[in-house]
Amino acid sequence: MLKTKDILDEKNKLLRTISEEVTFPLSDKDKKTIDLMVEYLTNSQIDELAGKYNLRPGMGMAAIQLGIKKRYITIVHEVEEGVFDTYIVINPKIVSSSEEKIYVEDGEGCLSVNREVIGIVPRSARVTVEGFDIDGKKIRIRAREELAIVFQHEIDHLNGILFTDHIDSKNPFKYQNIYRSI
């Protein structure tokens, strides 16, 4: 079982590297890592388990956050109480995005950023992501709102970008009156 301490902190320079494309078939080690990522994200969103195992809540995780320089992400999205949609995307790419921009009203968070960060992170309200499933089959996902934000956040990780990079340091709330909050 993954623990919160297994996730790299923002001070780790590895988080600033660009992850490498994955080749198929996936190794057993990568498949096991993906299972652990999904387990962590699911358990972290169930209050009882998050408390029991001392897990910081999260919806998404990129392999690089575990020190693995490979282009894969996992997202566990709670669609209703206790019901989750799980996305595993290998070599994900955003192939289209809306012009409409949104931001998380309470601020974005990250399992690798262990501090309070204020400011607006502009994101596309809708994205289409292409990549591959764990068997190497091509997949295409259309995501809106919260899910779109998570896809953008996790794909940023694969490119060495943290959400804090998107916040205007001189004016953290610069886009508050321009973009829609969710």
Catalytic pick from 78, 105, 108, 154?
154
Q: Side by side, which strands form the sheet with 60-62?
A: 60-62, 72-80, 83-97, 126-132, 138-144
Distances 42 to 7, 45, 134, 173 between C-alpha atoms, Å? 15, 6, 18, 31
> Which residue's entry shows tokens 């490119």?
159
Distances 76 to 34, 104, 180 between C-alpha atoms, Å? 12, 18, 24
154 a catalytic residue: yes
Positions marked active-site: 154
